[in-house]
């Protein structure tokens, strides 16, 4: 891995064994992109890759020089107002009203390792030899503004992490109206664009379309990353599938408003833009002030989408997630939400915990409803202490100790960013809401958003949480967030600084997370937002797992977890078994299938276990035991998608241990097929010439090559529900000694 600068050609070549990324300082001092893709041999001069020349209607950067027209050049971090005409990467409004900028190269530095981004989540290294970073300092001579473009290339991964820092070194304040984290111009547009989109209860469905001339993209203006569009997109060739072909992927380490889009110009070049959504952002930079963008992660592979996912999984699991839980097997959870809602008694929840213990579960989570006057969703948010001692006679401390006495760990639900009007907090601080002056704040789920851009608000919430955490033995926190942001105005800021509030809100969320994880490093955090509305890489930096969706129906979950697996590791996906008919879709699926889906995740149950029949209890006991036996493999193995539920009736996936000696395969059928075809699963990731035993049946063994190329035969008898609707099977493979 290296970053080489050629003094002669003024080119930076960032490369490792898998990728090359080449930037050139152009004749006028601006930066152009010469190449991004599969590794090419290094040489000192790639300048032939910069095409230019005279074209009608084109605008040029110098008089009598008809080579470089921004519109026809692959720009590295494009500006606006000077003849590019495509989507700019930044926009700086000067005091005189002009928004034309012209940044030129000043200097650069290359160093081993990677720096953290202050106050923001970002990738990290454990040793400086894992990555090399290039920082290029650019300056606008007229305004004095500086920008530092930062690129980190990892040794082991086909990854480039990009971000930008702006600094006002001029003499007057300016306003940043747009500050994207990455922009890249690709020389052709012969791609399909794939995104993870959906809504509450059907998050991260895979959507794919062919690129067309014009702008296509996704984003969020909802204040958080959202259930609607995950901060991710990829470009792939039409022939690319899970195992072959080129993929350019873009993931954004951020939990607030974001934009990911592709503009294809009428000469069929594709510009990808990734960053904070400019529609809800403007940042006044006073003299000497800085603005740091969040980080965009670029992954390139020519080995298909599964390989891309392997890169994201390993990178995000080991160089984005942090803390003691990063590499630790996650406990089997029993959560009371779907069983009781917010109305419960201590006896009731203790009985659920006790039943969980008997079935092998390890951690009981008390969900919504334990604090303030909370019996429904109209009251109590903001009052993070127990006031209803009829519900919890000895408070959280008492309940937590009783749960621990059962031999279970105890976890607790919070929704730190929210407030109900019927709460002590709102009565004491009505101005702590995000609210536009003179207007009534818009309700959602009867709740309002606290102004986390204000330090005193974050401090107050921290103090309440700290009071609880310092007294009770709490091993896990589910941090929920159940509405989008509206009237995003902060009463303690000047009119000029209101454009900062969306971003400062998220910085406030990050700062509260950071304080809590620093003070309570042993607590396992699970982020949540009405299910999976804030399942993003930013959150993973603080909470190594996230509640994937409120939709716990087995069939829907196969699709949600399959889509989520494009970017996010199995260990990050909270996945629980719940009752049927399912509370979200009313569907009835076999208990075995619900377990077979959820065990490819941070596994748990979400039901009143006492209501199970003895036969069902046996099934659950076996599921928990199987999961615990193979937990490391299921949560941290290499995950392969085998069959796609978005295009087929059957879905399948598998996970393989690092040494390739073990694997677990999951097969899921949507509708039963009358007199259907035989079923073969073409496995992946095994050793070609090792022999494997399936489900401990020692009378037969199969070479990895057989299982991968001839296929593993799925017998109808293997399927729970005898091959009917929503049937499934899980197979455990072990290499023969």
- The set of catalytic residues is 480, 550
Query: Closest approach of Cβ 413 to ligand DGJ, in Å?
Result: 6
Coil, strand or helix at 428: helix
Q: What angle do CA 539, 542, 543 make, to 5 degrees?
A: 75
Q: Which of 76, 368, 451, 536 binds ligand DGJ (CB under 6 A)?
A: 368
Q: Which of 30, 146, 263, 367 binds ligand DGJ (CB under 6 A)?
A: 367
How many whole angstroms separate alpha carbon 466 and alpha carbon 385?
11
Query: Pairing between strand 270-276 and 174-186?
Result: antiparallel
How many whole angstroms separate alpha carbon 501 and alpha carbon 700?
63
Nearer to ligand DGJ, 340 or 491 (CB): 340
Q: How far is CA 509 from CA 449, 452, 459, 512, in A?
A: 12, 7, 11, 5
Q: Does 550 bind ligand DGJ (CB under 6 A)?
A: yes
Q: Does 295 bind ligand DGJ (CB under 6 A)?
A: no
Query: Closest approach of Cβ 341 to ligand DGJ, in Å?
Result: 8
Query: Closest approach of Cβ 585 to ligand DGJ, in Å?
Result: 15
Nearer to ligand DGJ, 395 or 531 (CB): 531
Q: Does 600 bind ligand DGJ (CB under 6 A)?
A: no
DSSP annotation string for 182-251:
EEEEES----EEEEEE--TTS-SEEEEEE--SEEEEEEE-SSSS-SSEEEEEEEE-TT--SSSB-EEEEE
Q: How many residues bind ligand DGJ (CB under 6 A)?
A: 11
Query: Closest approach of Cβ 370 to ligand DGJ, in Å?
Result: 11
Q: Does 372 bind ligand DGJ (CB under 6 A)?
A: no
Task: Using CB atoms within 10 Å of the CB of residue 238, give its burial: 0 to 12 exposed, 13 to 18 middle, 19+ buried.
Answer: exposed
Nearer to ligand DGJ, 21 or 410 (CB): 410
Residue nearest to ligand DGJ (CB): 368
Question: What is the per-residue binding string for ligand DGJ in 508-537, x denoting contact by CB under 6 A?
Answer: --------------------x-xx------
Nearer to ligand DGJ, 337 or 525 (CB): 337
Q: Which of 16, 71, 251, 482 binds ligand DGJ (CB under 6 A)?
A: 482
User: Residue 253 half-sphere exposure, CB side, CA atoms within 13 Å?
Assistant: 29
Query: Closest approach of Cβ 512 to ligand DGJ, in Å?
Result: 18
Query: Closest approach of Cβ 342 to ligand DGJ, in Å?
Result: 7
Query: Closest approach of Cβ 530 to ligand DGJ, in Å?
Result: 5
Task: Using CB atoms within 10 Å of the CB of residue 190, give its burial: 0 to 12 exposed, 13 to 18 middle, 19+ buried.
Answer: middle
Span 327-346, contacts to ligand DGJ by CB under 6 A: 337
Span 422-481, contacts to ligand DGJ by CB under 6 A: 480
- Core vs surface per residue 363-400: b (16+ CB within 10 A) or e: bbbbbbbbbbebeebebbbbbbebebeebbeebbeebb
Q: Does 417 bind ligand DGJ (CB under 6 A)?
A: no
Q: Does 384 bind ligand DGJ (CB under 6 A)?
A: no
Q: Does 203 bind ligand DGJ (CB under 6 A)?
A: no
Among residues 535, 601, 593, 605, which one has the least CA distance to residue 200? Answer: 535
| CA dihedral over 527, 533, 537, 538, signed as positive or negative | negative
Nearer to ligand DGJ, 89 or 365 (CB): 365
Query: Closest approach of Cβ 528 to ligand DGJ, in Å?
Result: 5
Residue 422, sorted as left (phi over 0), alpha (psi -120 to 50) or beta, turns out to be beta
Q: Does 242 bind ligand DGJ (CB under 6 A)?
A: no
Q: Which of 547, 555, 562, 640 binds ligand DGJ (CB under 6 A)?
A: 547
Q: What is the largest CA-CA distance in the chain?
A: 87
Q: Does 556 bind ligand DGJ (CB under 6 A)?
A: no
Q: What angle do CA 103, 109, 115 make, to 5 degrees?
A: 100
By CB under 6 A, name the binding residues for ligand DGJ: 337, 367-368, 413, 480, 482, 528, 530-531, 547, 550
């Amino acid at each position: 891995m290296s970053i080489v600068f050629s003094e002669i050609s003024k080119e930076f070549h960032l490369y490792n064994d898998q990728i090359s990324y080449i930037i050139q300082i152009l004749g006028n001092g601006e930066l152009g992109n010469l190449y991004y893709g599969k590794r090419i041999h290094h040489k000192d001069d790639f300048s032939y890759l910069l095409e230019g020349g005279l074209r009608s209607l084109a605008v040029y950067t110098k008089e009598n020089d008809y080579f470089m027209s921004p519109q026809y050049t692959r720009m590295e971090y494009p500006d606006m107002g000077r003849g590019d005409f495509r989507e700019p990467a930044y926009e700086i409004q000067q005091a005189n009203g002009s928004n034309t900028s012209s940044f030129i190269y000043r200097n650069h530095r290359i160093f081993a390792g990677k720096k953290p981004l202050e106050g923001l989540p970002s990738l990290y290294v454990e040793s400086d030899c894992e990555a090399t970073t290039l920082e290029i300092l650019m300056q606008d001579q007229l305004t004095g503004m500086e920008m530092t473009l930062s690129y980190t290339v990892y040794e082991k991964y086909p990854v480039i992490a990009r971000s930008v820092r702006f600094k006002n070194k001029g003499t007057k304040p300016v306003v940043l109206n747009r500050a994207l984290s990455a922009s890249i111009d690709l020389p052709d547009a012969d791609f399909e664009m794939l995104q993870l989109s959906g809504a509450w209860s059907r998050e991260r469905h895979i959507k794919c379309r062919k690129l067309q001339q014009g702008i296509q993209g996704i984003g969020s203006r909802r204040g958080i990353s959202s259930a609607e569009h995950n901060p991710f997109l990829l470009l792939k060739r039409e022939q690319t599938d899970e195992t072959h072909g080129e993929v350019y992927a873009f993931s954004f380490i951020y939990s607030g408003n974001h934009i990911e889009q592709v503009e294809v110009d009428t000469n069929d070049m594709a510009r990808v833009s990734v960053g904070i959504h400019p529609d809800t952002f403007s940042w006044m930079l006073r003299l000497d002030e800085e603005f740091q963008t969040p980080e965009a992660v670029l992954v390139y592979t020519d080995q298909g989408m599964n390989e891309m996912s392997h890169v994201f999984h390993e990178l995000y699991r080991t160089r984005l997630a942090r803390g003691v839980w990063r590499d630790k097997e996650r406990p089997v959870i029993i959560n009371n939400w779907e069983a009781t809602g917010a109305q419960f008694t201590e006896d009731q929840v203790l009985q659920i915990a006790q039943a969980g213990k008997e079935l092998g579960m390890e951690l009981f989570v008390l969900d919504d409803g334990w604090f303030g006057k909370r019996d429904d969703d109209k009251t109590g948010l903001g009052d993070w202490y127990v006031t209803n001692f009829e519900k919890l006679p000895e408070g959280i401390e008492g309940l937590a100790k009783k749960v621990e006495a059962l031999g279970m760990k105890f976890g607790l639900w919070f929704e730190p960013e929210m407030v109900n009007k019927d709460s002590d907090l709102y009565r004491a601080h009505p101005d702590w809401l995000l609210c536009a002056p003179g207007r009534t704040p818009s309700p959602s789920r009867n709740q309002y958003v606290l102004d986390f851009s204000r330090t005193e608000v974050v401090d107050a919430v921290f103090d309440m949480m700290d009071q609880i955490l310092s007294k009770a033995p709490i091993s896990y926190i589910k941090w929920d967030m159940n509405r989008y942001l509206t009237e995003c105005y902060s009463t303690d800021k000047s009119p000029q600084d209101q454009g900062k509030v969306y971003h400062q809100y998220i910085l406030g969320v990050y700062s509260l997370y950071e304080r809590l994880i620093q003070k309570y490093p042993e607590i396992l955090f699970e982020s949540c937002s009405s299910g999976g509305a804030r399942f993003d890489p930013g959150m993973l930096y603080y909470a190594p797992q996230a509640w994937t969706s409120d939709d716990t129906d087995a069939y829907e979950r196969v699709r949600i977890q399959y889509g989520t697996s494009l970017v996010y590791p199995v260990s990050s996906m909270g996945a629980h078994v719940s009752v049927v008919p399912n509370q979200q879709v009313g569907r009835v699926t076999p208990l075995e299938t619900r377990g077979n889906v959820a065990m490819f995740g941070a596994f748990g149950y979400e039901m009143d276990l006492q209501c199970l029949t003895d036969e069902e209890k046996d099934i659950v006991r076996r599921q928990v035991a199987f999961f615990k036996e193979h937990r490391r493999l299921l949560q941290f193995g290499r995950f392969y998608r085998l069959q796609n539920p978005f295009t087929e009736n059957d879905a399948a996936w598998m996970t393989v241990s690092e040494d390739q000696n073990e694997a677990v395969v999951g097969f899921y059928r949507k509708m039963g097929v009358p007199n259907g075809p035989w079923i073969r699963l073409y496995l992946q990731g095994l050793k070609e010439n090792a022999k494997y035993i399936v489900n401990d049946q020692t009378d037969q063994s199969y070479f990895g090559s057989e299982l991968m190329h001839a296929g593993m035969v799925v017998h109808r008898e293997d399927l729970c529900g005898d091959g009917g609707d929503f049937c499934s099977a899980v197979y455990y493979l072990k290499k023969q000694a």
